[in-house]
Amino acid sequence: MSTSILPTINSPADVKAVPERDLPLLAQEIRDELVRVLSEENPNSVGGHLGPNLGVVELTLALHRVFSTPKDKFVFDVSHQGYVHKILTGRRDRFHTIRQYGGLNGFLLRSESEHDCYGAGHAGTALSAALGMAVGRDRKGTDENVVCVAGDAAFTCGVSYEALNNVAEQTKRFIVVLNDNEWSIAKNVGAIATYFNKIATHPTYAHLHEKAAQFVEMIGGKHAKDLAHRIEAGVKHLILPSVIFEELGLRYYGPIDGHDIPLLIRTFEFLKTQNEPVLLHILTQKGKGYDPALKQPDKFHGLGRFEPKTGRTSSSATPTYSELLGKTLARFAESNNKLCAITGAMPTGTGLVHFAEAHPDKYYDVGIAEEHAALFAAGLATQGFKPFLAIYSTFMQRAYDMIVHDIALQGLNVALCMDRGGLSGDDGPTHHGLFDIGYLRPVPGLVHMQPKDEEEFVDMLWTMANYNQGPIAIRYPRGIGTGAKPKEQPRILEIGKAEVVKHGTRVAILGLGGMCQMAEEAARQLEAQGISTAVINPRWIKPLDTGTLEFFARSAEVVCTIEDHVLPNGFGCSVIEHLNDVGIRTPVVRIGWPDQFIEHGSVDVLRKKHGLTAEAAVEKILAAVKPATDSKPKSAA
């Protein structure tokens, strides 16, 4: 029996020490480790990005074989495909903790390792950041290599082209690896995906690059290199009118097999000697080496715990908010030909896959291009359509200018559906949706709401579908709610009218959205101590139900707000501002996330740590409640 190699890998130097003939064996051991750690074989597993990492094993090995981090810089776009990099850079013994509270983050973090030169969690950032590093290197006069690894999906982001437009003018030494697996999270869409496919599959071009690969392995003299470049450029222009990367000043190489380790190593050894910006186009398989991931690349892009042999995951009978969105909008669209749905490469994550199946002619996936998605929705709205734009709260940040300048300023009827509004748990700070109340609250004319449960969620979607006075937004959490079953016929809610869940006199708790349950639990604890407590489900972040707020604030000793959002500029701030404006001095206790980036971990653990619990709310309320006094009136003298 051969000795396992992976246990000996504790640093990039160890990768360099492995005989090249044994690297394919190491690649397989890494794949086995990825499946083991992310599956039910690891009792503490919370899942993770399996498919993308299975696809970059050979690439990551080759990079660490040829280059030397932390001196050389690897900038991974999104960085969800950085698990293999973590294993090879001294974190193998902690890899079993990935995405768990106190364990390794699911993305790259500068604070986690010196080998992580740049942290990321959103697509399209790598080229600009890596170019900045290369220019910084040039200005300092140092000689490190900068390698940007970007998937083909990153090239559906406009910012990637903004970077490419500047590369040739800014630096002479820059390596871009285009990892082409035809997928982002879902199947890639649009002209760019078609373009890459045309390059990769053209038989003449494929033959040319088989020869080019042989040349790279041989690394002939200068004359041979120049001749190859001239032949290559000539053939490319015969086949395609323009290879976009060469027109932008990057020497294009490829496509080559991204799972051929010797070829990758020879190619990188050649590319690091080039004194011009280069782009290497590699072809990989998302999920390579694991059949369930190959059969369902979208599911295995990122998932929870799974059964390792079959890839099966446990499913809840209760639909998630995302699933409910897609199915509900599909039902609404049956009788509303103006309703359409848009997403940015997230049909499964947002639940719009259900809408797409029912109404393919009313569904639009624009790729990872949130700014374009918002402008596209604005254009549709000018033509009398009602677009529902479903994007994670953390990604909607990218479209903020379009929301303000194009949608709200023009009063267009666009519905913004912000999935993962609130803590996103295991994904960490790049994915927590903790800022959308703050960034949408100042936008004039925009209506914003959050449901307490699934029934109210459907009512709000129906309200949005029938609202024609400008932009309207809804935020809702990841996963399932209380399990409240929506009615067959939803109702239109009165804009700006809260729901009084429970009356009380001494304390008034406003629990926004899913935090209404926490408000009710806090009220039960206060009532057990003889403190009469009202519970209000605000429903509306904007406009605020000022009438209900003032009614309870005038009679209560303390008002408490609970929100799944950062406290600065959050819902509680709007309550304080209004009470101050109307001269009501009732103390306001705010429960929410502190003014910091919240780490990754389970929602329950993080809420307890940061004081988002009923017990924490009760403690703060009791500190603000007036001491009990003898309530009997004194007799007159």
Which residues are catalytic, by number? Answer: 286, 370, 398
Q: How many CB atoms lie within 10 A of CB 265?
A: 19
Identify the three-state secondary structure at position 72. Answer: coil
Amino acid symbol at 252:
Y
| Measured distance CA(158)–CA(147) in Å, rounded | 20
Name the residue among 400, 432, 386, 406 with its Cα closest to residue 607. Answer: 432
Spatial separation of the C-alpha atoms in residues 151 and 169, rounded to whole Å: 23
Sign of CA dihedral 420, 426, 431, 436: positive
Dihedral sign, Cα of residue 217, residue 222, residue 224, residue 229: positive
Q: Is 560 helix (H, G, I), strand (E, B) or coil?
A: strand
Give the Cα separation of 417 and 409 in Å (integer): 19
Burial of 142 (0-12, 13-18, 19+ CB in 10 A): exposed
Amino acid at residue number 322: S
DSSP annotation of 10 reads S
Helix axes 614-624, 516-527, angle to 10 degrees: 50
Element (H, E) at 390: strand 386-392
H helix and E strand count, the chain: 25, 17
Cα 320 from Cα 224, distance rounded (Å): 59
Rounded to 10°, the helix 191-201/203-218 angle is 70
Q: Hey, which residues does 148 pair with through a beta bridge?
A: 75, 176
Q: Report the half-sphere exposure of 35 (CA within 13 A, side-chain side).
A: 20
Structure tokens at 146: 């900068």
